[in-house]
Amino acid sequence: MHDDTVSREGSFSETRDATGHPVRPPRRRFQARAQGVLAILVAVLTLYTLGRFREAVAWGGILAIVCWPLVRRVRAHWASRHADTLIPAGVVVAIGLAFAAPVLLIGTEVAKETHDATQWFQQARQDGIPAPAWLGELPYEQAQAQRWWQANLADPSGVQDLMHRLKPEQALGTVEQIGHGAANGTVLLMFSLLVLFFLLRSGREVSGRITVLTDRLFGVRGEMVLKQIVGAVRGSMAGLVLVGLGEGVLIGISYVIAGAPQPLLLGILTAVASMIPMLGGFAVAIAVLLILMKGSVGAAVAVGVFGLLVLFLADHFIRPVLIGGSIRLPFVWVLLGILGGLETWGLVGLFVGPVLMAVAHLIWRFGSARGMLRAGE
């Protein structure tokens, strides 16, 4: 009985169609489809079960793609048997410190400035806010601006009315929401670093399995899609994070030269804001206003012009090349992917958006090329 079954299965496996390809029996085709449905169902339920930790897994995967070439390079020059654990641990610690250092610095400075700001508000409510010297240097409407300042801000009653309109209780609620968001972000960061550590420690096995799975599911073009995804993630990291840091450094130097208050904090704010295209201008505007309040009109204008020039050159020339150059993604696709991904997915969308656009553009190239070939024929 067993031999008959084997012989029948063998005959099924040896059956071939007119082109010579083996033909699967109906039961095996049904099992293959059922396995595919089961795999999709399990994948969807797994993503649903992860809940808000999906973002941590996504960040861990993004950081692993970016850091993997560095880990391989270091591993090639370090033959220690513990290198597979120590190198990923070192990368995780370095990334953790890179995130923690600015946060601690900002928190410390905010704590220092909070006391001074409280005293300033109390003094403003008692004595009013004196008019700055640069009001008299305005090219137009000097008298009107000075009269408005004297009527609304120099008078203590005007300051109290302004603070009443600002509704400080809503500001306290906003601060509470920011604190809750910071705590939630810290938890997600810890889990992201944990995911990153395990992905880097098993990097060779994970990358090999992903390559095999992609080849089985999509064939040769699946490998091309995989390369497009990796290139988009690494290009986004270079074009967003590294360019944003460079913009923050250059514009931060102008803050120091112009004598802006808290130039280090303003530089960090500019670097973080500049990681998102067209958002760095708001940080530069804040710095210009603070410099104006000190009475330095010329320095404020110089900082504004220099900052906008740096942002324009970086956003329109350097960033598109870094993000879309290696994967042949046009600038419009890059920009739509970044902004659309940010709006839809949050911060992780800065990488998810360009990845989806890169894959969509690759599919577009495949489809249009086949269409052109048929049209030519």
How would you class 294 by CB atoms within 10 Å of its CB: exposed for 0-12, middle for 13-18, buried for 19 or more? middle
Within this chain, do residues 197 and 211 fall inside the same structural domain, yes or no?
no
**What distance in Å separates the CA atoms of residue 181 and residue 205, rounded to the nearest whole number?**
35
Tell me whether residue 162 is in a domain: yes
**Secondary structure (DSSP) of 248-271:** HHHHHHHHHHHT-SSHHHHHHHHH
Amino acid identity of 155? D
Q: What pLDDT score was predicted for residue 372?
A: 47
142 and 271 within one domain: no
Q: What is the mean pLDDT of residues 146-154?
A: 75
C-alpha 353/C-alpha 345 separation (Å) is 8
Q: Is residue 341 part of a domain?
A: yes
Asked if 185 and 244 sit in the same domain, the reply is no
356, 301: one domain: yes
pTM of model > 0.75: no
Residue for token digits 């449905």?
A: 37
Exposure class string for 244-269: b at 16+ Cβ within 10 A, else e: bbebbebbbebbeebebeebebbbbb
pLDDT category of residue 376 using cuts at 50, 70 and 90 = very low
Residue ending a domain, choose from 171, 201, 231: 201
Together in a domain, 249 and 330: yes
- DSSP bridge partners of 252: none
**Residues 245, 110 share a domain:** no
Residue 30 lies in a domain: no
Residues in the chain: 377
41 part of a folded domain: no
Please work out, in degrees rounded to the nearest 5, the angle formed at the alpha carbon of residue 249 by the alpha carbons of 245 and 253: 165
Both 162 and 246 in a single domain? Answer: no
User: What per-residue confidence (pLDDT) applies to 67?
Assistant: 95
Let me know whether 196 and 207 are in one domain.
no
**54: CB partners within 8 A, 6+ apart:** 47
Q: Which among 201, 235, 258 is the end of a domain?
A: 201
Domain presence at residue 2: no
Residue 294 lies in a domain: yes
Is there a domain that residue 289 lies in?
Answer: yes
- Tell me the three state secondary structure of residue 128: coil
What average pLDDT score do residues 1-9 get?
Answer: 43
% of the chain surpassing 70 pLDDT: 77
> How far is 290 from 14, CA to CA, in rounded Å?
80
Residue 170 to residue 357: CA distance in whole angstroms:
39
Q: Could you give the C-alpha distances from 338 to 68, 129, 218, 235, in angstroms and in order?
A: 23, 42, 27, 12
Q: 20: Cβ–Cβ under 8 A, 6 or more apart, which residues?
A: none
Rounded Cα gap, residues 289 and 304, in angstroms: 10
Is the per-residue pLDDT at 166 higher than 80? Answer: no
Query: What whole-number distance in Å separates Cα of residue 124 and Cα of residue 116?
Result: 12
Range name among 137-141, 205-209, 228-232, 249-253 with the lowest pLDDT average: 137-141
Instruction: Identify the helix (H) or strand (E) that includes residue 106.
Output: helix 83-127
Do 309 and 374 share a structural domain? yes
154 and 226 assigned to the same domain = no
Q: Which domain holds residue 109?
A: 52-118+126-201
pLDDT at 8: 42
270 pLDDT band, cuts 50/70/90, is: very high
CA angle 260, 303, 318 (to 5 degrees): 120
3-class SS at 130? coil
Q: Please indicate, yes or no, whether residues 189 and 221 belong to a single structural domain of this protein.
A: no
Are residues 289 and 373 part of one domain?
A: yes
What is the count of structural domains for the chain? 2
Does some domain include residue 285? yes
Average predicted confidence (pLDDT) for the chain: 81
- Among 181, 201, 221, the domain boundary falls at 201
| Residues linked to residue 16 through DSSP beta bridges, in sequence order | 22
